[in-house]
């Protein structure tokens, strides 16, 4: 993909055209959609952890030196993040219900990496170029589902209280391989 130099923002999708690309070819970037897909297998656990963090903040709020209003706002943000994760999980569940067996395999292979499913599935036999085309189409399909649900990158980062900002940043700078399927960043030398 070639989207290094020039970027323009159109609504909730960033379209980038870099110098050196074929004239008129535009590459869509769906960094936040990729982050959602990478995090999906553990999104329920992440939501529960966020909920537990909100409970702990509430229980220990008497120790916080900030104003009661500031603490209450933080707790509400945590609760909203848990609700947002649950909503996103529902959207991805709906996407999975409407995917073919081949599309499910592609999602598992690239994003979810759940070994049980990959062992049971029949491997996809196609040319490398065809594989990447299918992955691109599938990413656009996932982005359509997520955007129809009213989610943009800005809303995703805001409503999840910045939980995935490092993941989105890693994907945006081309370090997608450093993002594991469980939604965490590997330690890198950069």
Q: Check residue 50 and give its pLDDT.
A: 93
Alpha helices in 60-178 (DSSP H): 68-97, 101-107, 115-120, 128-148, 153-159, 165-172
3-state secondary structure of 100: coil
Question: Is pLDDT at 13 greater than 70 in this prediction?
Answer: no
Specify the 3-state DSSP secondary structure of 17.
coil
CA distances in angstroms from 164 to 64, 133, 189, listed in the order given = 25, 26, 20
The pLDDT tens digits for 99-148 are 998 898 889 888 888 767 666 666 777 888 998 999 999 999 999 999 99
- The pLDDT of residue 43: 92
pLDDT bucket at 59, cuts 50 / 70 / 90: very high
Which pLDDT does position 47 carry in this prediction? 92
Please give the model's pTM, rounded to 2 decimal places. Answer: 0.73
In this predicted structure, the answer to whether residue 8 has a pLDDT above a threshold of 50 is no
Kindly state the tokens that stand for 127: 């040319």
What does the DSSP 8-state code read for residue 186? P
Contact, 43 vs 156, CB < 8 A?
no
Q: Is 20 helix (H, G, I), strand (E, B) or coil?
A: coil
Closest CA to 61 of 85, 78, 44, 81: 78
pLDDT at 96: 94
**Which comes out higher in pLDDT, residue 48 or 181?**
48
User: What is the percentage of the chain residues whose pLDDT exceeds 70?
Assistant: 75
Query: Which one has a higher pLDDT value, 72 or 11?
Result: 72
């Amino acid at each position: 993909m070639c989207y290094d130099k020039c970027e323009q923002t159109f609504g909730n999708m960033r379209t980038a055209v870099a110098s050196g690309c074929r004239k008129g070819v535009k590459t869509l970037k769906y960094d936040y959609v990729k982050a959602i897909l990478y995090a999906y297998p553990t999104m329920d656990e992440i939501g529960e952890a966020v909920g537990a963090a909100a409970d702990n903040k509430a229980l220990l709020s008497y120790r916080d030196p900030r104003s009661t209003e500031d603490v209450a706002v933080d707790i509400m943000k945590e609760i909203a993040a848990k609700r947002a994760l649950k909503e996103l999980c529902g959207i991805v569940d709906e996407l999975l219900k409407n995917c073919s067996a081949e599309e499910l395999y592609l999602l598992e292979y690239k994003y979810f990496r759940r070994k049980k499913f990959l062992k049971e599935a029949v491997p996809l036999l196609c040319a490398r170029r065809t594989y990447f085309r299918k992955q691109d189409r599938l990413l656009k399909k996932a982005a359509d589902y997520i955007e129809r649900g009213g989610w943009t990158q800005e809303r995703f980062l805001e409503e999840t209280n910045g939980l995935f900002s490092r993941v989105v940043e890693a994907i945006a700078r081309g370090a997608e391989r450093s993002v594991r399927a469980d939604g965490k960043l590997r330690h890198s030398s950069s």
